[in-house]
Amino acid sequence: MSSVTKLDEKLGRAMATAPKGLAEAEIPNAVQHRRSLPTPIDMIEVEDRLRAVDEGAVEHIAESMEQRGQIYPIQITTIEPGRFRLVTGAHRVAAARKLSWTHIEAFLVDDLEEEEVRLLEIDENLCRAELNAIDKAHFFARRKEIYLRLYPETRNGGDRKSLEYRNNIRWPNRPTDPGSPNLPASRPRPYAEDTAASTPWSPRVIRRYTRIGERLDPALREALAATPIGRRTRDLETIADMKLDKQQDLLQRLQTAPQPPQSLSALMADPHRPSSPRKTDLDRLTALWTKSSASHRRQFLEYLWNEASEAERDEFREWLAEPDTQP
């Protein structure tokens, strides 16, 4: 669910349970109500997506839409009259096409800036349960990059005096005079807190994955996405702590590997080091004999003698009679 839709639902629930008279109260900076409109699917352009459409998810969504209809509208912006660009809902559009629908319900979000449109797409992706670790890290890092461009005053040590920039982006009708009585009391929240309000993730998880996404080499990230390492958060944290030259070395190893490594340790293993021979049962018995006490060794010899056949006992006697002879 996008941040705008999520906020709309919260406001709706609040108004439904509010006492009489509250409906007329002013809500500073409230998201304006949007009505969904049936939009011809052929007029919607789906391009430059942050995440590829998953065919398995499309099948599931198509089945749900066929049985229950479209529950959540997609979001679009206008390119020109009769042409729209998809903001959120690529899987729903693909499902509608699979069902041979000609129209789909859509919110028109032309009132949002391009950067805020990007945030909507990222937030919707971050609300999906099937995201793996490396995708989450990438989306969180991209969201932070965009959010800090929108609200540089939230950066640690950032420009907290850029009122004109902040107002023009977030509140275009808000007065720039800090002393104005009409100036809303709210201010942009820090990145992690704002992201937590728009997604199901806690600030601690957000900071953890954002750090990974910011520190991973982009080419290595793309290469790891198709491997089991891309699903291992701890492996990704270890890689994120490496210097760039070490990450590039991992990328080269990954590109020349005969098959995708199952773990970071397998990827980092020396390919020229000879593999250790597999231990045999004799190796294991010898190791146990070496570690055993004298009394345990005697008990083991008694066990062997009692379990041995008469022919094996004769062979053992002959071997004991010739101590310099190997068995």
User: Could you tell me the domains of the chain?
Assistant: 33-110 (3.90.1530.10), 118-173+189-266 (no CATH)
Rounded-to-integer distance, Cα 37 and Cα 156, Å: 41
Distances (CA, A) of 63 to 60, 68, 69, 95, 117: 5, 9, 9, 8, 28
Checking if the pLDDT of 50 tops 50, the result is: yes
pLDDT-derived band at 43, boundaries 50, 70, 90:
very high
Question: Which positions ≥6 away from 208 have C-beta within 8 Å?
Answer: 233, 237
pLDDT tens for 298-323 read 888 888 888 888 888 888 887 777 76
pLDDT, tens digit, 9 for 90 and up, residues 146-166: 999 988 988 875 544 444 444
| Three-state helix/strand/coil letters over 272-286 | CCCCCCCCCHHHHHH
Say if strands 83-88 and 74-80 run parallel, antiparallel, or are unpaired.
antiparallel
Average pLDDT for residues 56-83, to the nearest whole number? 88
Instruction: Name the residue among 58, 169, 163, 190 with its Cα closest to residue 118.
Output: 169
pLDDT at 213 over 80: yes
Q: What's the whole-number average pLDDT of the chain?
A: 79
3-state helix, strand, coil in the chain (%, to 5): 55, 10, 35
Tokens 């089945």, residue?
A: 63
Indicate the pairing of strand 44-45 with strand 83-88: parallel
Tokens 């806690």 sit on residue:
202
- Spacing of C-alpha 320 from chain mean position: 67
How much of the chain, in percent, has pLDDT values that exceed 90? 28
Q: Which residues contact 273 (CB under 8 A, 6 or more apart)?
A: none
Task: Classify the phi-psi angles of 89: left when phi > 0, otherwise alpha if psi is within -120 to 50, otherwise beta.
Answer: left
pTM of the model: 0.59
Mean pLDDT of 188-193: 90
pLDDT-derived band at 105, boundaries 50, 70, 90: very high
Which among 245, 283, 122, 265 is positioned nearest to 191, based on CA atoms? 122
Per-residue confidence band for 14, with pLDDT thresholds at 50, 70 and 90:
very low
| Tokens read off for 243 | 């210097």
Q: Flag whether pLDDT at 18 surpasses 60.
A: no
For residue 110, give both structure tokens.
Answer: 């032309």
127-150 pLDDT, tens digit each: 876 778 999 999 999 999 999 998
3-state secondary structure 247-315: HHHHHHHHHHCCCCCCCHHHHHCCCCCCCCCCCCHHHHHHHHHHHCCHHHHHHHHHHHHHHCCHHHHHH
Say which range, 34-43, 56-65, 212-221, 276-285, has the weakest mean pLDDT.
276-285
Q: How far apart are CA 243 and CA 253, in angstroms?
A: 16
Say if residues 108 and 180 touch (Cβ distance below 8 Å). no
Among the residue ranges 66-75, 214-223, 248-257, 310-319, the one predicted with the least confidence is 310-319
The per-residue pLDDT for 98 is: 92
Confidence of residue 270 (pLDDT cuts 50, 70, 90): low
The Cα 206–Cα 197 span in angstroms is 11
What was the pLDDT predicted at 186?
61
Asked if residue 53 lies in contact with residue 15, where contact means CB atoms within 8 angstroms, the answer is no
